[in-house]
């Protein structure tokens, strides 16, 4: 059995040291870690769902605090909390439906019910929880073992009832945990296949002889463009190099190796070239609840240029990047500063220091932000693994993926 706390500590350390790159990798590893936490969590006799929620919240607080900029980590924590609530609600509804169905059938035919064994409420509820669909009366009667029938008169009747209730609680606990883990497995599969799901929509969006503009390097954008090229779409790609890391150079080499016509331009040339562009397609870091996006630095400039020349601005991103928070929420850290060495060599800093003062304070300051914020009014369309959506539709996706009670993963206060 793995040491769950050791796994949590190791993952927190990786997040703090920025050893995990990319939202997809962060989301997948977060889901896997929470799956392990739930799998090895000991369930109490009562309030099993709340116990799982508390366990996930406790771990999620540490994960989010370790790297607040990587919003995908918090997204997955909230998605798992929503899964627990949904599975518990489904189990409870199935139980009540089974009890209601049994009560109605007893009222319809009293004479027939006298000839059949009387079923306790616990037995009916246990049978109802064996499936997510509301079972028929025949299924209930055939699926319940003899031991679940009304007990014969015996001196140990009270002990039998106690054992039955204990077994029922244990069965419900195991089923809830099993259903939650299965749902998390589906979530992990969705994260793994999001690029393929998005790429399938490329043919309907990119047409013959178009000119596409993008900035920097995005795996989602690369696979989206390559999918259109594989369907014999002939188009040209303009890539703004994405200073100061120049990830656009890497993307240009990857697209050329796939046979795409590619042109690299400087970031400052976006406004000069945008009039020749039919569409802008970019990848983002996160999608906020209002439809705005947090994207690599420089993309807001591209969005403004696209709006000025009436060019569609399309965002491609997996649903794990959809964050239920707004940019103004205090829990959201919109940006972080990268190392100044991306702009200046460390050796050059010695010429910029004022050693005449006791503290040696620098005369030159370097600011190297990592992200831009693009408001929803600049976004034309979102392409996700669930289809194409307008910025105003984000609230509907949030309602499907998250529970309002989990928007803020509050830190526990020590008693």
Cβ contacts of residue 117 below 8 Å, gap of 6+?
149, 150
Cβ contacts of residue 387 below 8 Å, gap of 6+?
201
pLDDT digits (tens), the chain, 415 positions: 468 999 999 999 999 999 998 999 999 999 999 999 999 998 888 889 999 999 999 999 999 999 999 999 999 999 999 999 999 998 887 766 666 665 565 555 554 444 444 444 444 444 444 433 344 444 444 444 444 444 444 445 556 666 565 555 566 667 899 999 999 999 999 999 999 999 999 999 999 999 999 999 999 999 999 999 999 999 999 999 999 999 999 999 999 999 999 999 999 999 999 999 999 999 999 999 999 999 999 999 999 999 999 999 999 999 999 999 999 998 898 899 998 888 887 776 666 766 666 665 667 788 999 999 999 999 999 999 999 999 999 999 999 999 999 998 865 444 3
Tell how strand 279-283 and strand 286-287 pair up.
Answer: unpaired
What are the extents of the domains in the chain? 4-192, 195-335+370-406
pLDDT of residue 365: 81
CATH homologous superfamily for 195-335+370-406? Answer: Translation initiation factor eif-2b; domain 2 (3.40.50.10470)
Helices 71-108 and 23-39, axial angle in degrees (round to 10): 50
pLDDT of residue 83: 97
Other beta carbons within 10 angstroms of residue 236's beta carbon come to 16
pLDDT of residue 152: 47
Tell how strand 293-296 and strand 286-287 pair up.
Answer: antiparallel
């Amino acid at each position: 059995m793995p040491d769950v706390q050791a796994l949590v500590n190791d993952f927190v350390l990786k997040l703090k040291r920025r050893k995990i790159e990319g939202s997809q990798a962060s989301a997948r590893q977060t889901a896997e870690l929470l799956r392990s936490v739930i799998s090895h969590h000991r369930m109490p006799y009562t309030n099993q769902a709340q116990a799982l929620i508390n366990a996930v919240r406790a771990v999620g607080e540490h994960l989010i605090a370790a790297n607040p900029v990587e919003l995908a980590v918090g997204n997955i924590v909230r998605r798992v909390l929503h899964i627990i609530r949904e599975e518990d609600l489904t189990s409870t509804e199935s139980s009540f439906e089974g009890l209601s169905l049994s009560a109605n059938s007893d009222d319809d035919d009293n004479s027939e019910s006298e000839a059949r064994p009387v079923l306790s409420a616990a037995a009916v509820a246990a049978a109802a929880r064996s499936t997510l669909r509301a079972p028929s009366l025949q299924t209930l009667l055939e699926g319940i073992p003899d031991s679940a029938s009304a007990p014969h008169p015996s001196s140990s009747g009270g002990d039998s009832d106690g054992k039955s209730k204990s077994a029922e609680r244990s069965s419900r606990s195991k089923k809830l945990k099993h259903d939650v883990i299965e749902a998390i497995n589906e979530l992990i599969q969705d994260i793994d296949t999001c690029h393929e799901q998005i790429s399938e929509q490329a043919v309907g969006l990119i047409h013959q002889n178009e000119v596409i503009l993008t900035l920097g390097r995005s795996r989602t954008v690369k696979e989206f463009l390559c999918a259109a090229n594989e369907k014999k779409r002939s188009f040209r790609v303009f890539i703004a190099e994405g200073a100061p890391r120049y990830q656009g150079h890497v993307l240009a080499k990857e697209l050329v190796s796939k046979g795409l016509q590619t042109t690299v331009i400087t970031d400052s040339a976006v406004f000069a070239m945008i009039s020749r562009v039919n569409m802008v397609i970019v990848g983002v870091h996160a999608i906020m609840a209002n439809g705005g996006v947090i994207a690599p630095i420089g993309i807001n400039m591209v969005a403004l240029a696209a709006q000025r020349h009436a060019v569609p601005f399309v965002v491609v991103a997996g649903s794990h990047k959809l964050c239920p928070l707004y940019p103004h929420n205090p829990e959201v850290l919109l940006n972080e500063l990268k190392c100044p060495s991306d702009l200046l060599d460390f050796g050059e800093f010695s010429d910029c220091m004022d050693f005449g003062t006791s503290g040696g304070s620098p005369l030159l300051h370097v600011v190297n932000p990592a992200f831009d914020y693009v408001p929803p009014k600049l976004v034309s369309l979102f392409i996700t693994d669930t289809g194409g959506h307008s910025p105003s539709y984000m609230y509907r996706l949030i309602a499907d993926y998250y529970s309002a009670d989990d928007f803020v993963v509050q830190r526990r206060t020590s008693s």
